Amino acid sequence: MPARIVVVHDDLEFSEQLAGALRSGGHDVATYVDPLAAWDALEAAKLVEVLVTRVEYSPGRSNGFALARMARLKRPQIKVLFTALPEHAENAADLGEFLPMPVSVEDTIEAITGLLDGQNKI
């Protein structure tokens, strides 16, 4: 079952580094490679505050926008952070915060901290 922060990303190195750093900071983190597997877990979770996702996944998989929309239907207060290619920034504006790739683990943690502290707009 996912925890307070859910990271859905198919770059395993980035995902593992991010999750490790967040856990070191005392956060509960669950990671997923597939957005549909993440959705199943999000539905079952009692508490998820932040969803971190990219936009594009391999062919045949859902995308991060669909995942964010589904998560918002189930949990209207969930904060969403997209880490994606710059051309997706405009489409992400109504769904969450956006960090253009390539993005560092440190910048991602800073954005997540802002979301948890209520400093970011969404």
Segments making up each domain of the chain, as ranges: 5-97
CATH class, domain 5-97, is alpha beta
pLDDT beyond 80 at 1: no
Q: What is the pLDDT of residues 47-77, one digit of tens each?
A: 889 999 999 887 877 789 999 999 999 888 9
pLDDT beyond 60 at 3: no
pLDDT beyond 50 at 2: no
Q: What is the DSSP letter of 28?
A: -
From CA 33, how far away is CA 84, in angstroms rounded? 15
pTM confidence score: 0.90
From CA 14, how far away is CA 120, in angstroms rounded? 22
Mean pLDDT for the chain overall: 89
